[in-house]
Structure 1
Amino acid sequence: MADLDKKTWTQKGLNGLKQLGIMLLLFLVVSTAVDLWRGKDIPTEVLPPISALDLDGNLVDVMGMSQEDPVLVYFWGTWCPVCNFVTPAVDIMSEHYPVVSVAMSSGSDDRLNHFLADKGYTLSTINDQQSFLAREWSVQVTPTVMVFKGGELKHYTTGFTSLPGMWWRMVFA
């Protein structure tokens, strides 16, 4: 009887793992499809420049910066609820990799500086008050994360992105 119970539990465990694997695969397929659809308008061939002054008055030239090392570009907004979960991970990434954040429609420089200081973020941030850069890049979903290497767009994703997901994109750029 104990042998039968053990086999039953083993079989149930294997079935549960199989179902979990199927659900994970389905999640990956659906999230990849959604990501591709959301980013369908993002230019991949002729890239507009991301060159502007950050909040500290430094000229940021993403294409130039990406010639030797990968650069993570993060389009976000202070008003974006998902960004509240992603921005801390981007800030951690900025301690290890070149990161440029582009704050879309997030108010004046003073307001944005106050927001960043209040959260303890040290990101190099371009204030895209009127979302000119975002429109030029066809960014319609926040957050959007892009990775550039050698002046080329290597990876992009929209919506929630995890720290391991960003790290993976940077390492394999």
Structure 2
Amino acid sequence: MLSKLWSATKSLVSMVLFVTVVSIAVDYWRSQDLPEGELPNLSAVTLKGDVIDLQALSKGEPVLVYFWGSWCGVCNFVSPAVNTMAKHFNVVTVALRSGEQAKVQAYLQHHEYQFPVINDPHASLGGQWGISVTPTLMVIKNGELKHYTAGFTTLPGMWWRMLMA
């Protein structure tokens, strides 16, 4: 019995290590499209009319920046976690190619998302930031990129990145 438990534990640990290494490698490969050096300015107005200045917001505290789309299947699984994060941390989201303001607001209301959203109907901001995959999450602190990931991300993964920033 003990040998079976040990074997199952070794298999689980091996799988977790493998997934972690692959995830880090994929994030590294995808990060090649990100801007080099200083990050682009992200100063815009949210759908609720709040002015967002990422440089100022990230002074001393990490900010989770989330590039997503209402059309993105994976975002349907990541957005609820981002919504939870917004209750505890500074979060700024950018809706890429999701339609005009009224359409994005209706989408947010339907899903009961409370996170702040900058609408980017033509993906201009996404292009400046080198976003080629949705969802993309970044942790910015003091105007510097601390963590980056693209694709599916879990709530614990987001939480960990914010705490480590």
Into which bin does the TM-score normalised by the smaller protein fall? Answer: over 0.9
Aligned equivalents of 1:155, 1:143: Cα separation in 2:
14
Partner of 1:87: 79
Alignment of 1:68-147 (within 5 A): 68-147=60-139
Cα deviation per residue 1:75-124 (whole Å; 9 max; x = unaligned)?
Answer: 00000000001001101111111111100000000000011011111111
Unaligned runs of 5+ in 1: 1-8
The normalised TM-score by structure 2 is 0.96
Alignment-derived partner of residue 170 in structure 1: 162
CA RMSD of aligned residues (A): 1.0
Are the structure 2 counterparts of residues 155 and 44 from structure 1 closer, same or farther at C-alpha, using a change threshold of 3 Å?
A: farther
Judge conservation of contact 1:44–1:153 (CA < 8 Å) in 2: no
Q: Match for residue 35 of structure 1?
A: 27
Return 45-54 or 77-86, whichever deviates more: 45-54
- Cα distance, 1:44 vs structure 2: 4.7
Letter in 2 for 1:51: S
| Alpha-carbon offset, residue 67 of structure 1 | 0.5
| TM-score relative to the length of structure 1 | 0.92
- How many residues matched? 165
Q: Deviations over 1:116-148 (max 9, x none)?
A: 011111111000000001011111110000111
Aligned-pair CA distance for 1:30: 0.9
Question: What secondary structure does 1:145 align onto?
Answer: strand
- Flag structure 2 segments of 5+ consecutive residues without an equivalent: none
Displacement after TM superposition at 1:27 (Å)? 1.1
Q: Tell me how far apart the structure 1 counterparts of residues 68 and 120 of structure 2 sit (CA, whole Å).
A: 10
Identity of aligned residues (%): 50
Aligned to 2:149: 157
Preserved contact between residue 147 and residue 170 of structure 1 (Cα < 8 Å): yes
Aligned partner of 1:63 in structure 2 is 55
Tell me which residue corresponds to 2:15.
Answer: 23
SS at match of 2:32: coil
Decide whether the 8 Å contact of 2:46 with 2:52 is kept in 1. Answer: yes
Larger radius of gyration: 1
1:52-89, Cα deviation, whole Å (9 max, x unpaired): 11112222111110012111100000000000010011
